Amino acid sequence: MNKLFSIGFWSATARFILRNRAFILIAIAAITVALAMQWKHMRFTYTEANLLPDDHEINIEYNSFLKHFGEEGNLIVLGVKDSLLFTPKNFNAWNKLSEDFIKSPEVEFALSLGNLQKLEKRTDIEGFRMVPLVKDSIITQAVVDDYKHELFTNLPFYNGLVYSPDKKSVRSAIYLKKDIVNTPERKDFIDKVLIPKIQQFEKDTGIKVHTSGMPYIRTLNSQNIIDEIGMFIGAALLVTSLIFFFFFRSFRATLISMVTVIIGVMWAFGILGLLHYEITVLTALIPPLIIVIGIPNCVFLINKYQQEIKQHGNQAKSLQRVITKVGNATLMTNVTTASGFATFILTNSQLLKEFGIVASINIIAIFLLSLLIIPIVYSYMAIPKYKHLKHLNKGWINSFVNWMEKMVRGHRIAIYITAIALLCVSIIGIFNIKISGSIIEDMPKKTEFYKDIKYFEKEFEGIMPLEILVDTKRKKGVMKLATLKRIDELQDYIQEIPEFSKPLSVVELIKYSKQAYYNNNPEYYQLPNNQEQTFLLSYAKSSSDKTNLLSSYVDTTGQYARVTTFMKDTETERFDRIEEDLKTKIAKIFPSERYDVTLTGKALVFQKGTKYLVQNLVISLSLAILLIALFMAWMFRSFRMILVSLIPNLLPLLVTAGLMGFLGVPIKPSTILVFSIAFGISVDDTIHFLAKYRQELIVNDWKIKRSVYAALRETGVSMFYTSIVLFFGFSVFTISSFGGTVALGALVSMTLLFAMLANLLLLPSLLLSLERSIANKKTLKKPALKIIPDSEDDEDELESKT
């Protein structure tokens, strides 16, 4: 009854498709137009990916910091390492550059050589005033030399802020208005104002300017993502079409397949717009993924159609059987692939959740498009000519199938030894895998902005902000001398860590105040002692409202202070040790009953986000394995068959993980996707093989050897075709300039190649070796769902029954 229902459903589906061809094509065109109208809602991300859920402790602490001090990532820095800057012409040009930026409505404030201020003690009242460092209206070489000497010798406050510790580089700081940092206005300012003015300065002076800062990095990195979407789609179409044509030697079949996947890509963009999701480094992969995953559907459908035409030459019957026979199997394989992606929906990471939703929807969509478009278009065309069917008799394909059969027949022990050896070696490699929480590791290494990041790491000891929030638990507690001394002790400790830059806090301002009080003598750049604290702190407090010095480092209540440092690109293991030591030092300096001290900042949030994703990797992969195991159990009604089917799909994942360990490819947001994606795709071959195997068991009266070899010959070609398409399709991602995308493409390609060999060699070997325990009518029960009809006459049987 199940058998007849399944055949009946797909026969009815085939009749509906072929009888309503025009209506279905019009409906597809209408949906495509409707989704194309949603493209205008696509948004490119203006923020870096937050990999943690909103209610995570790290996010809560970070949002608490933002509440007190506002957006931290609003700083753009311009750096120069050239002695020619300190000539009158270039000095004036550099100062004019900053003045031009200050005039832009997007800029809150700019700090540069030309507008540096110094504190000066007032004589009329208690307090300080800010006076320009450069007072001369006419800049001569002598003025520039005096300025340079005073800056580098007498103003330690600007050390690490304006000039590098070795005094060979200087930089300007541009602070964007905080309300535009995560909006399109930021991109417009950088593209239309910042970059053109810098280029003009370089042209006029011949001095190289290095530009960085989180707003700048994020803008250029996002632009790279946008640029690569088109490149990926074009490359995926080119590679898959060439491979498809090589296999089928038919322009018509190739064109039909390309049109199908292009419509799928249009739907993918439309769904992104419809859901109002941002295009991130992950969702940007979906359109080319749809091409790579959609082409195997076309391979199965067109290959079956041509086989049927070659067998009996009846076009109507061939199209009917394409839908009836291949439709069900293709549906099952697409469902398992979509399941691999859908497991990301169950994570708490918004980035992964959006990727999982859009990817799984589009995989089902490309299946429906393939099932509808290919049979309908072929129904309007003439029957394929003999030259279009010659690929079915290719000698090298037959040689490949014969080699597989030979290996399974006579070399099963060698197959098992190889599999066990690979497993053992892979386990060793897995223990060498590292986790990477680097923000910049996946960024394009050849771009100028990446080289500029490295410049600032070298000259100014970091670019990624790390913040320490000090809560004194009482109003105006920050300005107590005891608190300032504790912050100063913490800063001294931070400065000893080579991965961190010189920290900035209210302490630097108080030290500068003391220096100013003693007529700017740099020897007094230190905290006041107990005798000095009363009058010096009163000076500083009375000046703070007028000079606005404290607002960046102390909140309006005086209860919270921030200590800002910048971090070099640091390995996760090293960062963990630094964090642990830093927290131990903080606990020692700041008693918990009097202070709450929190580590936060974008660098920390990203590091913790990567670790969180690794935990989600284990969860999502486990869910994918469980989901697909349950699916196999429902289909084949055999627990032993589940175990046999999972082995050839888990082994390639372990081999890939081992390779990552040996090759030094770390676990990071991009590479964690490999396992769920590869498992969801590779299990497709297992379903095809086992479905055909069970069919052959029934046809051959449960003769196992004959059934295994027949299934191997029947499915081997299609599995080989689709695996090659997938291998080269995912290899397209290796042309990316993003390291993570390259790793993703290479690792998925390798995994799928291993999976093909495992399903064509290891799986049949296991079935033969365990034939008595798994291949009998008791253990291999009638499937709940018919994947492949048991005979060519099933449709006739259905007709006679009804």
Decide if pLDDT at 108 tops 90.
Answer: no
Of 267, 254, 260, 294, nearest in space to 374 by CA: 260
Encoded amino acid at 92, one letter:
N
657: its two tokens: 């993980």
Of 74, 84, 102, 76, nearest in space to 210 by CA: 76
Print the domain residue range for 355: 2-48+220-388+395-431+606-790
What is the mean predicted confidence (pLDDT) over 123-134?
73
pLDDT band for position 637 (cuts 50, 70, 90): low
Domain-embedded: residue 678: yes
Residue of 660 and 691 predicted with greater confidence: 660
pLDDT of residue 586: 92
Rounded Cα distance, 729 and 733, in Å = 8
pLDDT of residue 636: 63
Domain-embedded: residue 109: no
In whole angstroms, how large is the CA radius of gyration of the chain?
A: 33
Residues with Cβ within 8 Å of 466's Cβ and at least 6 positions away in sequence, in order, are: 500, 564, 565, 566, 567, 599, 600, 601, 603, 604
Coil vs helix vs strand at 142: helix
Q: Would you say 711 and 787 are in contact if contact means Cβ atoms under 8 Å apart?
A: no
Domain-embedded: residue 761: yes
pLDDT of residue 48: 60
pLDDT band for position 50 (cuts 50, 70, 90): low
Residues with Cβ within 8 Å of 424's Cβ and at least 6 positions away in sequence, in order, are: none
Kindly state the greatest CA–CA separation across the chain.
111
Of 269, 316, 311, nearest in space to 289 by CA: 269
Domain-embedded: residue 383: yes
Residue 71 Cα to chain centre, angstroms: 24
Rounded Cα distance, 380 and 327, in Å = 20
Of 216, 164, 217, nearest in space to 458 by CA: 164
Rounded Cα distance, 475 and 477, in Å = 5
What is the mean predicted confidence (pLDDT) over 237-253?
81
Q: What is the DSSP string of 565-625?
A: EEE----HHHHHHHHHHHHHHHHHHS-TTT-EEEEESHHHHHHHHHHHHHHHHHHHHHHHH
Helices (H), 275-342: 286-312, 315-321, 327-342
Decide if pLDDT at 16 tops 80.
Answer: yes
What is the mean predicted confidence (pLDDT) over 497-511?
87
Coil vs helix vs strand at 207: coil
Decide if pLDDT at 461 tops 70.
Answer: yes
CATH of the domain at 403: 1.20.1640.10
pLDDT of residue 5: 44
Residue holding tokens 């970059």? 195
pLDDT of residue 313: 75
Rounded alpha-carbon distances, angstroms, from residue 344 to 197, 351, 635, 768: 44, 9, 24, 36
Stretch (H or E) spanning 471: strand 464-471
Rounded Cα distance, 428 and 425, in Å = 5
Judged by average pLDDT, the poorest of 443-447, 626-630, 637-641 is 637-641
What is the mean predicted confidence (pLDDT) over 480-506?
90
Percentage with pLDDT > 70 across the chain? 86
pLDDT of residue 490: 93
Of 635, 626, 631, 640, nearest in space to 767 by CA: 640
Rounded Cα distance, 438 and 568, in Å = 9
Domain-embedded: residue 729: yes
Domain-embedded: residue 16: yes
Phi, psi of 162 (to 5 degrees): -110, -35
pLDDT of residue 395: 62
pLDDT of residue 173: 85
The full length of the chain comes to: 802
Residue holding tokens 């933002």? 66
Domain-embedded: residue 799: no
**Residues forming a β-bridge with 600:** 467
Coil vs helix vs strand at 778: coil
Angle between helices 214-248 and 286-312 (to 10 degrees): 10
How many helices and strands, by DSSP H and E, does the chain display? 29, 11
- pLDDT digit string, tens, across residues 697-741: 777 777 777 878 888 877 777 778 778 888 888 888 888 877 777
pLDDT band for position 763 (cuts 50, 70, 90): confident
Rounded Cα distance, 799 and 802, in Å = 5
Decide if pLDDT at 789 tops 80.
Answer: no
368: its two tokens: 């429906």
- pLDDT digit string, tens, across residues 140-161: 888 888 888 888 888 888 888 8
pLDDT of residue 487: 92
Rounded alpha-carbon distances, angstroms, from residue 131 to 157, 335, 382, 543: 15, 70, 87, 13
**Residues forming a β-bridge with 338:** none
Rounded Cα distance, 690 and 306, in Å = 23
Q: Would you say 309 and 318 are in contact if contact means Cβ atoms under 8 Å apart?
A: yes
pLDDT band for position 127 (cuts 50, 70, 90): low
Burial 445-473 (b: 16+ CB within 10 A, else e): eeeebbebbbbbbebbbbbbbbbbbbbbe
- pLDDT digit string, tens, across residues 296-325: 888 878 877 877 777 777 888 888 888 887
pLDDT of residue 539: 56
Domain-embedded: residue 21: yes
pLDDT of residue 151: 87
Helices (H), 390-532: 395-410, 412-430, 448-460, 481-495, 506-517
Pairing of strands 170-176, 278-279: unpaired
What percentage of the chain's residues is helix, strand, coil (to nearest 5)? Answer: 70, 10, 25
Q: What is the DSSP string of 478-515?
A: TTSHHHHHHHHHHHHHHHTSTTB---BSHHHHHHHHHH
- pLDDT digit string, tens, across residues 291-300: 888 888 888 7
Decide if pLDDT at 639 tops 90.
Answer: no
pLDDT band for position 783 (cuts 50, 70, 90): very low
Rounded Cα distance, 666 and 438, in Å = 10
pLDDT band for position 548 (cuts 50, 70, 90): very low
pLDDT of residue 798: 40
Decide if pLDDT at 535 tops 70.
Answer: no
Phi, psi of 519 (to 5 degrees): 60, 40
Rounded Cα distance, 292 and 729, in Å = 5
pLDDT of residue 787: 46
Rounded Cα distance, 748 and 713, in Å = 26
Q: Would you say 695 and 788 are in contact if contact means Cβ atoms under 8 Å apart?
A: yes
**Residue 521: CA count within 13 A, CB half-sphere:** 5
What is the mean predicted confidence (pLDDT) over 209-226?
82
What is the mean predicted confidence (pLDDT) over 250-259?
85
Q: Would you say 393 and 401 are in contact if contact means Cβ atoms under 8 Å apart?
A: no
What is the mean predicted confidence (pLDDT) over 274-297?
82
Residue of 679 and 778 predicted with greater confidence: 679
- pLDDT digit string, tens, across residues 259-273: 999 999 999 999 988
The sheet with strand 210-212 has its strands ordered as: 107-111, 170-176, 75-80, 210-212
pLDDT band for position 2 (cuts 50, 70, 90): very low
Rounded Cα distance, 125 and 106, in Å = 36
Other Cβ atoms closer than 10 A to 529: 10
Decide if pLDDT at 202 tops 80.
Answer: yes
Q: Would you say 439 and 218 are in contact if contact means Cβ atoms under 8 Å apart?
A: no
Structure pTM? 0.74
The total number of structural domains that make up the chain: 1
Percentage with pLDDT > 90 across the chain? 11
Residue of 334 and 697 predicted with greater confidence: 334
Encoded amino acid at 498, one letter:
P
pLDDT of residue 470: 92
Rounded Cα distance, 795 and 239, in Å = 38
Judged by average pLDDT, the poorest of 179-183, 389-393, 422-426 is 389-393
Decide if pLDDT at 679 tops 70.
Answer: yes
637: its two tokens: 């009604």
Decide if pLDDT at 124 tops 70.
Answer: no
Give me the chain's average pLDDT, please. 80
pLDDT band for position 540 (cuts 50, 70, 90): low
